[in-house]
Structures are given as C-alpha cells and as structure tokens.
C-alpha cells in the first residue's frame, strides 16, 4: 500500500481525491477553512463499459486518458492524489491480536511476514500488506495484547492503480480501501454511537455492495456481495421493456413501496410501475444478504449488537430504501449525507440524490485537503 506523505513537503499544496468505479470517476478537492472544510471542486463523469470490471482496471490507457480529460475539463492542475481500491475478493481487512511485549520492529516482522499469510485467501507473495496498531486489551488468559488492523490487496490490483495514475501524470500519495475513506467521511456520525454499539455501513455501488461493520469507527468485519445498482437497474429495465442502461438516474428517481399494497412511484411516471416486482425482488435479496452478514458477524464470539444500518453509495439514495430495510430487518436504517456529515461549505448545488454516493471520494479529498 502507498502511505500518506504527511509533512514531507511543508507548505506545498496537496492534491485531490479521485475515486475510480466501474460506472464513474469522482473527483473532490477540499480546502481547510477555519475549523472545517470547503468543497472547492466536485465532479463526476461516467466511465464507458470495458475500462473497469469486478474491482479491476481492465484498460489502463483508457482510464488514464479519462482521468486526464476529467481534470482538464474542471481546470484542475494537480500532481498528487489519494485514491482507493474497492473491497471484494481481492482485498482483506482483519483485526488480529498481537502480544503487547513486542517492540515496533518485532511487531512489523510478525504481522507482515508471519501473521498475514494466515488470513489471506491468496499467496502472501502476491499481496501488498499494511497494518495499523490499535488499542490494548487483555485476553481470556490474562495476557496483554494489541489489536492490529491488517489490510491486504492483491499486488496486481495495486499495481494497476499505480500504473494508471502514472500514465495520467499523477503521483499517488494514498492508496487505501474504499471503506476506510467512507468511514473517515462519516466519523462524526459514527461518534454518536457508544463503543458498545456496532454500526453496519452498507455501500451500494455499481457492481456490488460492500458491508462493513464498525465499532468505535474501526471496521471489525467486511463482506462484499454481488448485488449493486447495475443488477437492480437491469431488473427494472427488463420488466419495463427499456433498453439496458449503466445510468442510475431512473433508479434514483424511484421510491420503494414500504407497504405491500403501495404502488411504486417514479418521478414523473407516477402510479403503479411494472418494474416494482423485479426491483423489490433484487432489493429483497440484498436485504437477505445483509441479514446473513450481520448474523455471521454476531456468531463470531462476543461481538456487539448492530445498532443501525447506514446506507451509502449510489444505491443508497433510492427513495425509502432506509424504511424498507428498517421494516425488513427490524433495524433502524438511514441514508447518509456526506456533505452534511462533514459540515462542508459548498459553492455548487449537489442534489440530494447524489449525496450518498459521495462518501468515498470526499473521504479521499480529506486526505489531500490543504
């Protein structure tokens, strides 16, 4: 992983946050303003099919060119960026216990060269691994240990990001897991919960949904399920005899019927909608996967009860999705608003439907704020 170069070049302007996704590139430039931040630039452009698939950049030259054109269109002349790899089968986050008696060098040796290989679903030599030491605890045998957050990604994934940004003429300051960026954005919201409460963060992206369960702002469990806005949109389009589309505009205009007798409304379309059954079936499958994930987490020892679901990503803005999950899972659910969560001063209008999908890129922008 690429570490943050904090204070390496004091006084020099930093860069921007760039999120790469199968359906869009998002760019955010933040500036410190008093005790808070100002959103200087925010831009999102669609990604054509074929550049990015299942968490991997499949056309490095095409993606680099798209990054360059996005920066040029928004008059951004920067050289440094923070970016993120989406969670999935090629990434691992795990909290592991390490004896507290180890010094920093011994801790590094144990985590990177001994422990890491025990938790990876791919060979250790194929992984980029990083870690962060968390708090102390005493185990059931009375031994004092550190909790260590282990993070790993396949090298071919991180290498493709480094090569893409190099080809675009940019230097990566920070390369992290997208769920970390999202948690950074909503950290003040997470502080409303006690250290004895867990929160499930549900990031509904284009190809998949990443489920992260966090306690006191630290991810304890993560799982990615292959249901995203594309699957929901495709089911909706087929049922309504519409052509396939990668856009989420129609989806975000929908309002889910909370009661079975209600029809599904869709902006100007109104009334009952033939896509309701198809859309509800897929969202219902996602709800079932959420329940399985939460149950699995709870069954892994003395884990804390989940107090709330926080919905993020482009799919998080579907009308009444929070109420649907609240009823389906018997858990309070709410859609995040990253701009409000950060108390950002904004100079451009950011529609409410777009806001849940900005959590990751704003979290990356925070890493580069100057």
* CATH number of the CATH domain containing 35: 3.30.420.40
Helix (H, G, I), strand (E, B) or coil at 106: helix
pLDDT digits (tens, 9 = 90+) for 111-153: 998 888 898 999 999 999 999 988 888 888 888 888 899 999 9
pLDDT at 243: 83
pLDDT digits (tens, 9 = 90+) for 259-303: 655 444 444 333 456 777 888 899 999 999 999 999 999 998 777
Query: Residues of the chain whose pLDDT is less than 50?
Result: 2-11, 262-271
Q: Residues 290, 364: one domain?
A: no
Residue 205 domain flag: no
Residue 209 domain flag: no
Rg (CA), the chain: 21
Q: Residues 33, 143: one domain?
A: no
Q: Which domain holds residue 83?
A: 1-90+154-186+337-370
Residue 329 domain flag: yes
Cα separation, 304 vs 291, whole angstroms: 15
- CB–CB of 356/336 below 8 Å? yes
Residue 300 domain flag: yes
Residue 49 domain flag: yes
**How many structural domains is the chain composed of?**
3
Q: Residues 321, 176: one domain?
A: no
Q: Residues 299, 262: one domain?
A: yes
Structure token pair of residue 220: 């304890």
pLDDT at 267: 41
Q: Residues 122, 168: one domain?
A: no
pLDDT at 3: 47
* CATH number of the CATH domain containing 127: 3.30.1490.300
Residue 231 domain flag: yes
pLDDT at 260: 52
Cα separation, 241 vs 249, whole angstroms: 17
- How distant, in Å, are the alpha carbons of 1, 101, 266, 287 from that of 207? 24, 44, 22, 16
Cα separation, 175 vs 370, whole angstroms: 18
Q: Residues 278, 177: one domain?
A: no
pLDDT at 270: 39
Domain boundary among 153, 177, 195: 153
Q: Residues 168, 109: one domain?
A: no
- CB–CB of 26/19 below 8 Å? yes
* CATH number of the CATH domain containing 299: 3.30.420
Q: Residues 280, 320: one domain?
A: yes
Q: Residues 171, 54: one domain?
A: yes
The pTM assigned to this predicted structure is 0.89
Q: Residues 160, 74: one domain?
A: yes
Domain boundary among 153, 176, 198: 153
Q: Residues 160, 11: one domain?
A: yes
Q: Residues 35, 77: one domain?
A: yes
Residue 4 domain flag: yes
pLDDT at 13: 52
Nearest to 336 by CA among 181, 206, 220, 207: 181
pLDDT at 273: 65
Residue 142 domain flag: yes
Tell me what the pLDDT averaged over the chain comes to.
88
Other Cβ atoms less than 10 A from the Cβ of 292: the count is: 13
Domain boundary among 153, 170, 194: 153
């Amino acid at each position: 992983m690429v570490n943050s170069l904090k204070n390496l070049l004091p006084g020099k302007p930093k860069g921007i946050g760039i999120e790469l996704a199968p359906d869009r590139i998002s760019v955010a430039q933040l500036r410190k303003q008093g005790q808070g931040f100002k959103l200087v630039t925010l831009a999102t452009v669609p990604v054509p099919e074929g550049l990015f698939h299942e968490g991997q950049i499949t056309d490095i030259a095409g993606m680099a060119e798209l990054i360059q054109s996005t920066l040029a269109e928004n008059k951004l002349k920067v050289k440094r960026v923070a970016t993120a790899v989406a969670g999935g089968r090629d990434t691992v986050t795990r909290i592991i216990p390490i004896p507290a008696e180890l010094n920093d060098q011994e801790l590094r040796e144990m985590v990177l060269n001994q422990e890491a290989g025990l938790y990876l679903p791919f060979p250790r030599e194929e992984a980029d691994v990083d870690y962060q030491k968390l708090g102390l605890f005493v185990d059931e045998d009375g031994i004092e240990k550190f909790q260590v957050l282990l993070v790993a990604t396949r090298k071919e994934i991180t290498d493709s990001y480094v090569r893409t940004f190099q080809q675009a003429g940019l230097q990566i300051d920070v390369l992290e897991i997208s769920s970390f960026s999202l948690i950074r954005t909503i950290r003040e919201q997470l502080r409303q919960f006690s250290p004895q409460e867990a929160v499930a963060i549900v990031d509904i992206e284009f190809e998949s949904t990443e489920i992260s369960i966090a306690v006191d702002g630290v991810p304890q469990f993560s799982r990615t399920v292959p249901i995203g806005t594309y699957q929901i949109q495709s089911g909706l389009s087929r049922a309504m005899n519409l052509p396939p589309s990668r856009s989420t505009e129609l989806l975000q205009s929908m309002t889910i019927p909370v009661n079975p007798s209600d029809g599904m409304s869709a902006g100007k379309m109104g009334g009952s909608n033939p896509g309701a059954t198809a859309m509800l079936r897929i969202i219902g499958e996602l709800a079932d996967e959420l329940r399985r994930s939460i149950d699995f987490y709870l069954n892994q020892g003395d884990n804390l009860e989940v107090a709330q679901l926080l919905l993020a990503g482009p799919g998080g803005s579907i009308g009444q999705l929070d109420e649907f999950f609240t009823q389906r899972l018997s858990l309070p659910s709410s859609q995040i608003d990253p701009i409000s969560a950060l108390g950002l001063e904004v100079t451009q209008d950011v529609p409410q439907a777009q806001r849940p999908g900005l959590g990751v890129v704003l979290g990356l922008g925070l890493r580069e704020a100057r």
